[in-house]
Amino acid sequence: MSQVIAEISISLDGFAAGRNQGQEHPLGEGGERLHDWIVPTESWRRQHGKEGGETGPDNDVAAEFGRGVGAYVMGRNMFSPGRGEWDEGWRGWWGEDPPYHVPVFVLTHHPREPLPMEGGTTFHFVTEGIESALEQARAAAGDEDVLILGGADAIRQYLAAGLIDELRLHIAPIILGGGERLLENVGEPELEPVDVAASPAAMHVKYRVVR
């Protein structure tokens, strides 16, 4: 049965991005360190056309990314640095062949025609809100899962609306000290850990969200 999964990396003090997010720092100042656990892995490197890399728990988690996922949802801030770039034909952060390979539904207030990329990824821009985006993603995914990629704001909205079945957190051992918190104003969902893996670089936890 198709699941709605949210997956994101956060700091030990709960931030999904550091201070001063923008084109220079898409994840805020210091926020790129949230992904230090995945960048050296063999799986991530292969997805980016590179050889070699580390194996181990982080690589196992990296290798699982996207498995069984039929559609993604992401917030507008994850797709775009915001403001003017949107109208100037911004095509995302990921080059011409984004690592998704299925439809990606982008939450936004700005209508735009679907943007087909190489490798099977098409960005669809949804202006009718989170529930419409999820409905469209479910339809596109069929029997496969829908993965909410972030940013924090999008995941918060879906959590607060009770629409997430599984929350996957990658907790990096860093203190950002400020920025955008993930678990704030999400109500008090009951979380049941169903899988945990850890390395010196991150703790990876899957929670089932109990309805």
Which residues lie across from 170 on neighbouring strands?
A: 9, 204
CB of 24 to a second copy, least distance (A): 19
Instruction: Render 59-103 in DSSP notation, one character per residue.
Output: HHHHHHTTTTEEEEEE-HHHH---GGGGTTT---SS-SS-TT-SE
Quick check: helix, strand or coil at residue 208? strand
The verdict on 186 binding a second copy (CB under 8 A) reads yes
Return the half-sphere exposure (C-beta side, CA atoms, 13 A cut-off) of residue 165: 9
Contact between 4 and 145 under an 8 Å Cβ cutoff? The reply is: yes
String marking each residue 24-63 x if it binds a second copy according to CB under 8 A: ------x---------------------------------
Taking CB under 8 A as the criterion, the residue among 2, 3, 14, 65 binding a second copy is 14
Angle 52-11-54 from CA coordinates, rounded to 5°: 10
Query: 51, 111, 200, 211: which one contacts a second copy (CB under 8 A)?
Result: 200
Quote the least distance from Cβ 90 to a second copy, whole Å: 32
Choices 47-55, 80-88, 139-147, 189-197; region in contact with a second copy by CB under 8 A: 189-197
Q: What are phi and psi of 31, to 5 degrees?
A: -65, -25
Burial class (CB in 10 A: 0-12, 13-18, 19+), 101: middle
Distance between CA atoms of 75 and 93, rounded to whole angstroms? 13
Smaller CB distance to a second copy: residue 115 or 183?
183
- Write the binding mask 147 to 176 for a second copy: x where contact by CB under 8 A, - elsewhere: ----------------------x-x-xxxx
Helix (H, G, I), strand (E, B) or coil at 108: coil
Q: Judged by CB under 8 A, which of 39, 115, 161, 191 binds a second copy? A: 191
**Which residue among 20, 48, 96, 196 contacts a second copy (CB under 8 A)?**
196
Which residues, 75 to 94, sit near a second copy by CB under 8 A?
Answer: none
What residues line the site for a second copy (CB under 8 A)? 12-14, 30, 169, 171, 173-177, 181, 183-184, 186-189, 191-194, 196, 198-201, 203, 205, 207
